Every structure is written in C-alpha cells, then in structure tokens.
Homo-oligomer: A and B are copies of this chain.
C-alpha cells in the first residue's frame, strides 16, 4: 500500500520548487520537464517520474502549469502553510538568521528569539524583542512552535537542544559546531559548512592531481 518513495525524490522536489518559483517570477505560465531538468541538472524523465509518485500534474503536449505545480509541491512538502521558528541565540549568527529572506520565502518565519545574556534580553531584532532563555519552553508551547534553531556557542548547544525537545519541537536546525544528541523521532540538521567544503575540496584535489599527471610529473603516491 505505501509505495516507498526514494529519498532523493524529496530532495529534488524542493529543487524543482525553487526553480518553479523563479520561472513564476519571470511571468511564465507553463514549463516542461525538459526545462526543469536543465535548470536543476536532472534528467527530464526523472523529473516526470519524481512527480508521478504523487499524482499526474501535467498536460500532454503542454507541460506543467507553473502556478498549480507550485501549489502541489508545497502541499506535498508541507510548506503550503507557514511554520513558526524559535530562534535561540541573539548574537551575530542569530541576528543574521532572524533577518534571512530565504526562510521567509518558503513560509518559515521566526516567531520568537531567546538569549540568556542579560545584555541582549529586551533588545529588538527586527520586530521581535529578545526574550530570556528561561521562557523558552513556555513560549514554544504557547505558540505551538515546531521548529527550533540553535545559534548559541558550542558549550550550551546540547542543553538548548534538550529544552527544545522537551518543549515539543520536532525539527532542529543546529548551527553550533557540535553533534547534538536527540531522541530518534526528532530530526536534526547539522549545518556544517566544513562538511560541504571538504566534499568539494576532494573534486578540486583530484583535478589538481590529474593535471600534474598530465604534465608528466611523478604521482605523489605509487
């Protein structure tokens, strides 16, 4: 009954969404799997197949109606309605996140900001006043917040995570450079730029190595 949906499908779906929003911005009304595919660097057959897991949204000979497909994908992903975020940490990072347009665009908005530093409490960031960290649990429950963002120093990240989980948050975005431990039903994203850089570095390093070889220099290892 439950057809298993490959993990990659969901990841690509959000890429398609971003692409569709861009084309909508430009005033286009329809789009083909071919164009989407080129834009996100994916085979057009795969675009169609990915979408077909969830229904038939296109029109043969025409393509997809951008406006409708956006709505469908947003419904699938659950971003068709806004989601509230609790942001913990009102330092440089926290301030940057609070005013980040990329989140708002997809319906994620910061509903409350917390810090434990008395100098920061009460200060305004955008429209929000920084609240004392001890009100975290109370506020999360009151506002039914389901997403928590950790933007505090490494040393207090785990404690914050524990509080978030206890208060009922389901998704955590962790910007502190430590791996935090949470119960299995909680989803954590460690946003570690180093990991991405390492990944890319490898491809760069290979290219550099093979260039050396091409020039006839000795390989570093035999």
**Cβ distance A33 to chain B, nearest Cβ, rounded Å:** 20
Most buried by B among A76, A91, A108, A195: A195
A57 at the interface (CB under 8 A from B): no
Q: Which residues from chain B contact A84 at a C-beta distance below 8 Å?
A: none
* Interface range, A side: 35 or more
A28 at the B interface (CB under 8 A): no
Chain B contacts for A92, CB-based, 8 A: 92-93, 95-96, 99
Majority secondary structure, A binding face = helix
Q: Is A204 within 8 A of B78, CB to CB?
A: yes
Among B78, B97, B99, B100, point to the contact of A205 (Cβ < 8 A).
B78
Residues 181 to 212 of chain A near chain B (Cβ within 8 Å): 187, 189, 191-205
Closest to A11 in B: B199
A14 to B195, CA, bound (A): 6
Please list the residues of chain A having a beta carbon within 8 angstroms of any beta carbon in chain B. Answer: 10-11, 13-15, 17-18, 22, 76-79, 83, 91-93, 95-97, 99-103, 105-106, 108, 146-147, 154, 170-171, 173, 177, 179, 187, 189, 191-205
